Structure 1
Amino acid sequence: MLVALVVLSAVLILRRRWDPIHSIPTIGYSAPVLSYYSAFKFLRNARQMVEEGYARHKVFKIAAWDRWMVYVSGPEMNDELRRLPDDVASIEEAIQEEMYSEYSFGAREYDLTILAIHGLLVRDLSGVIPTVVDEVVLVLEELFPQEFDWVELTNLPSFMSNAVARIINRVFIGAPVCRETGYLTIVTTYVTDVIKAKVILDLLPNILKPLVGNVLPWRARATRHLKHYLGETIAHHQASLNEDCNDCKEKPNDFLMRIVKGAQDLEGSMETILINILMANFTAVHTSSATATATLFQLASQPESIAALREDILSAIRAEGWTRGSVNSMWKLDSFLKETLRWQGLSIAGLRRKVLKTATFSDGTVVPDGVHIYAAPAATHHDSTLYEDADTFKPFRFSDKREQVGQSTKHQFVNTSPEYLVFGHGKHACPGRFFAAIVIKIFISNLLLKYDVKMGGDGSLPENVMIGASAIMSPNAKVLFRRRQVVDA
């Protein structure tokens, strides 16, 4: 027995030495049992652990419950990571595995959202701006307080999730369905359901994940309820694809039509269309509402910036109304948004990839297949070698830079770089960022022209709660709004 234990120990030690993952520096513990303590610690101290690794190593690893997470540090390593070929490091495989997409959204071959986004929300983005403006005006009139005294909105993150979902779905599926409370509940609740599924499956051994994942009820329930609201509209879109359709005087040319057409080409079912609507909402509503909420928190805690922002907004719309050009010319607002996401650091993991073939970095680090690699956006954005006064919120940091010769486009909100990773970087950068930026700018600019805003309590910025690599914005923060008696136009 003793000999067997000695042999087994020797084998484990040798195996550990031969596995390249163990040559990568560890933040926390790397021993088999103690690493679970580090994984537990990561849930509440993820940002501190990543920042420690960023300060000490070019490449480092942190233990998760069922895998090692490898992080790279700094712009040079960020650029190396994003340039890894897709057959070496895959973003699709990383997202599929991390979010358990096969259980939440189904087979990847039926993912039509990227094509629809490129078709309408990138190439034809100018055409959706009047629709967005129209819905934003209605949202402010119907959902926001109309009193000329200060009114507190409770649970602002939840409130904004519904408001932004309504604006986005005016483009996705049109009115009046986008205003239906039941419809909005479905698409916003499903974001939470996907996260719940991830938490549950993360805690299970791999052998049990398919068994549990396939019986989780939320996808079937969501598509069943969604069909009640969209079934008739989808049927009309499907009929309009038939050239012999006599009742289709005008064929729709909206986001939903691109999903319906894609599903028909793939011989997909009604469920295919409904799942793609859920997927589009999961991505767009979650990120856009989080950005809008973070911006409102920042504005409310720093109201001295509002006068300059209003002047910036008015100058743009007086020149040419609500157009893509006028929205893009709001440099100060653009800068405020970009600085908000740099400063608040809503995610500590970016450029996520799953290694499919052994990857070797320029510093000699070898990462074996099967491992997930990330950049560290929050740590990068607070790097004092990259940003002057990195630990200070400067609302017009980027608009000031754009005033310099040859820098007018480099520092735009939607531009990505190895130093700014909010939307990823490289060919896999978020394709929906142009649409998201337009929606958020139009919403914030209209709100600032019609409302004053301030933070309640002591007026300080509310702290985010970190759960693993994600930031949860405070539902208890007191933000007050007051309708302006004189609205500039």
Structure 2
Amino acid sequence: MADMTAYYHARPALLAVLLGLLVCAATLVYQLSSKKARDAVPRVGSHRFKGIFSVQRHLEQLQAGIAQHPHGLFSTPIFPFGTVFVANGAALINEIRTGPDDVFSPAGAVEKFVQSKYTTPGTFVSEAALHKPIIRNQMTRGVEPVVRNLVDEIEHAFAPMLAPPASSPDPEWRAFPALETFIRIMAQCTNRIYVGAPLCRDPVYQGAVVGYATQVMKSAYIINMFPDWTHPYVPPPLPFPPLRASVRECVVVGKLVTDPTKFTAQLTRLLAPEIERRRRALAEYGPGWADKPDDFLMWLMEDAPAGFLQSTEVLVAYILFVNFASIHTTSMQFTHLVYDIAVHPEYVGALREEAAAVLGVHGWTKGALERMPRLESVLRESARLSPTNLVSLGRQLLKDWTFANGVTVRKGAFVAASTFSTHWDEETYPDARAFRPWRFFHEGDDSGKDRFTSTGNEFMAFGAGKHACPGRFFVAHEMKAMLCFILLNFDVKVESGPERPRDEYFGNSILPNRSAKVLFKRREKGMLPSASV
């Protein structure tokens, strides 16, 4: 009996060991079978286990590859993609940027990164793509009311920083965790355009949309730690910690990681009454009723075809999707920007003068935000120096492809352009590793080629080509308005002193320092949108 009891206690461990050996053996067979194809391209770094053990050192591997193959192609592990074939030089990058969709699939790279089959409610969002025409039309071409609502919400979002501290009515420096604070502000301001006020100000709503994005990525990271062929078996069949992941739950070293579907249910409870209220108003008053909301949710309800795509389930999924696609990346880019401004106070005066002059004449409008060439230059320079990804233009090959240099990369492989070598290229950008805020400021130049939103082979913060981020114009207006608000109403510095907080690297992501704090001191003579022309 004792022996039988010991057996049952040992069985989970034996199953774990056996499954681990099977996974390792299958992975070894797969790697050996594809080694011949990979060997045609120079390799940099250890390709074992998809780069998991070098997840914070991918920049070093990229630097080595770039130095050895400055205008060529090399392969290096970049988590979560595993082996990535990285293109250097304008010619090879242009091949990826302009490559045909039936060969170069951005959707394949996104699916690998997010693992949406296992981490999101369904694929109907990307398949129907109802958000794309809305972003291009209502949010971009019809942007004046969007900017007006956005600016109004910025003042509400910054209210805690504008209020004097309880201990003293006098202005003084107040510290805030930078990235955490800007994620909250970005969630509130962005959702003023997505779902309107007052819902965008609800901390439970904000927690749901931000928490959803965070947990989706946590789940995707865990799934991507396993070989691709195991992904359908990673969820519940795994009988043991330390790694278990599914839409239902993720367990990491015995610690429960909250299920993304929790936030879907939470958001449904918050949005369903509002969706039903709007449906009743549409049915009773038609499309032109008084006080009809002017936001993404309303545009979606009006544009979606009748049937399933008009269901509450789909509408909630789209709200989660647009939040997932925008809040974290924009918050990261904006935090990079504030760090750059905070440690270079010598440039603040010129930026303040430009903003005050233009906004004083034109008000807080779309036209005003597009008449600030110095501000435009600062945004582009910050994104050039600190993009959010090491490689851009991520694509999965749907067919074998032979590049112009004669190198063939096989179907199923991931290819990308090196953002790092492009943005830090000394021939294109002299003194490339220095922050030069007026690098893109050209007096009297109205060509628009160096605008923050302009993309190409030499600037890939928003991707490039026909698959460049369609929401970048909204993002640009949002970041410009927020930076103007900060410049005109606060003095800013970082708590750590004159040095810029060091960026962090994880897989393909370049993260602004997550522990750094920014200090705000309210200026005596600020310029609030509600009190301006």
Normalised by the length of structure 1, the TM-score is 0.90
Contact (CA 8 Å) 1:355, 1:370: kept in 2 or not?
Answer: yes
Structure 2 counterparts to residues 12-161 of structure 1, below 5 A: 19-29=36-46, 35-36=47-48, 39-57=51-69, 58-63=72-77, 67-105=82-120, 106-107=122-123, 108-144=126-162, 146=164, 148-161=170-183
Structure 2 counterparts to residues 404-423 of structure 1, below 5 A: 408-423=447-462
Change (3 A) 1:448 1:358: same
Match of 1:380 in 2: 422
Aligned-pair identity in percent equals 30
Secondary structure of the 1:26 match is: coil
Match of 1:271 in 2: 313
How large is the RMSD of aligned CA atoms in angstroms? 2.5
Match of 1:8 in 2: none
CA distance in 2, matches of 1:205, 1:346: 26
Question: CA offset at residue 176 of structure 1?
Answer: 0.4
User: 2:77 is matched by which residue type in structure 1?
Assistant: A
Number of aligned residue pairs:
470
Question: CA offset at residue 54 of structure 1?
Answer: 2.1
User: 2:38 is matched by which residue type in structure 1?
Assistant: I
Question: CA offset at residue 143 of structure 1?
Answer: 4.5
Match of 2:254 in 1: none
CA distance in 1, matches of 2:294, 2:432: 45
Structure 2 counterparts to residues 335-346 of structure 1, below 5 A: 335-346=377-388
Do structure 1's residue 259 and structure 2's residue 300 form an aligned pair?
yes
Question: CA offset at residue 262 of structure 1?
Answer: 4.6
Contact (CA 8 Å) 1:465, 1:471: kept in 2 or not?
Answer: yes
Match of 2:201 in 1: 179
Cα deviation per residue 1:415-474 (whole Å; 9 max; x = unaligned)? 001000000111100000000010111011011111111122332100011111112322
Question: CA offset at residue 369 of structure 1?
Answer: 0.6
User: 1:75 is matched by which residue type in structure 2?
Assistant: A
Match of 1:431 in 2: 470
Question: CA offset at residue 391 of structure 1?
Answer: 1.5
Contact (CA 8 Å) 1:187, 1:282: kept in 2 or not?
Answer: yes
Secondary structure of the 2:56 match is: helix
CA distance in 2, matches of 1:448, 1:39: 41
Match of 1:469 in 2: 508
Change (3 A) 1:207 1:332: same
Match of 2:443 in 1: 403
Do structure 1's residue 307 and structure 2's residue 355 form an aligned pair?
no
Secondary structure of the 2:95 match is: helix
Contact (CA 8 Å) 1:110, 1:272: kept in 2 or not?
Answer: no
Change (3 A) 1:369 1:198: same
Contact (CA 8 Å) 1:454, 1:480: kept in 2 or not?
Answer: yes
Question: CA offset at residue 207 of structure 1?
Answer: 4.3
Match of 2:19 in 1: none
Match of 2:404 in 1: 362
Cα deviation per residue 1:131-165 (whole Å; 9 max; x = unaligned)? 01111112222355535543333321011101111
Cα deviation per residue 1:393-426 (whole Å; 9 max; x = unaligned)? 1011111xx3265x64110001001000000111
Cα deviation per residue 1:211-232 (whole Å; 9 max; x = unaligned)? 4234346332111100222111
Contact (CA 8 Å) 1:187, 1:281: kept in 2 or not?
Answer: yes
Match of 1:7 in 2: none
Secondary structure of the 1:384 match is: coil
Q: Which one is further off, 240-249 or 307-316?
A: 240-249
Match of 1:483 in 2: 522
Change (3 A) 1:271 1:21: same
Cα deviation per residue 1:368-400 (whole Å; 9 max; x = unaligned)? 11011111112211110110111111011111x
User: 2:43 is matched by which residue type in structure 1?
Assistant: T
Change (3 A) 1:315 1:15: same
Cα deviation per residue 1:75-107 (whole Å; 9 max; x = unaligned)? 222111111100011111211122112233321
Normalised by the length of structure 2, the TM-score is 0.83
Do structure 1's residue 234 and structure 2's residue 275 form an aligned pair?
yes
1:394 pairs, out of 419, 431, 436, with 436
User: 1:23 is matched by which residue type in structure 2?
Assistant: A
> Which structure 2 residue ranges, 5 or more long, are not aligned?
1-28, 236-245, 250-257
Structure 2 counterparts to residues 207-246 of structure 1, below 5 A: 207-211=229-233, 212=235, 213-216=246-249, 218-242=259-283
CA distance in 2, matches of 1:345, 1:374: 15
User: 1:44 is matched by which residue type in structure 2?
Assistant: Q
CA distance in 2, matches of 1:304, 1:472: 25
Q: Which one is further off, 287-296 or 203-212?
A: 203-212
Contact (CA 8 Å) 2:51, 2:82: kept in 1 or not?
Answer: no
CA distance in 2, matches of 1:247, 1:323: 25
Cα deviation per residue 1:335-383 (whole Å; 9 max; x = unaligned)? 1111111112331021011100111111111111101111111221111
Contact (CA 8 Å) 2:301, 2:315: kept in 1 or not?
Answer: yes
Q: Which one is further off, 352-361 or 114-123?
A: 114-123
Change (3 A) 1:222 1:334: same
Match of 2:226 in 1: 204
Change (3 A) 1:474 1:214: closer
CA distance in 1, matches of 2:332, 2:462: 13
Cα deviation per residue 1:96-137 (whole Å; 9 max; x = unaligned)? 122112233321324432232123211211221110111111
Change (3 A) 1:16 1:427: closer
Change (3 A) 1:169 1:38: closer
User: 2:59 is matched by which residue type in structure 1?
Assistant: R
CA distance in 1, matches of 2:34, 2:323: 43
Question: CA offset at residue 243 of structure 1?
Answer: 6.7
Contact (CA 8 Å) 2:308, 2:314: kept in 1 or not?
Answer: no
User: 1:448 is matched by which residue type in structure 2?
Assistant: L
CA distance in 2, matches of 1:191, 1:13: 32
CA distance in 1, matches of 2:347, 2:53: 38
CA distance in 2, matches of 1:376, 1:247: 49
CA distance in 1, matches of 2:57, 2:32: 32
CA distance in 2, matches of 1:235, 1:444: 37
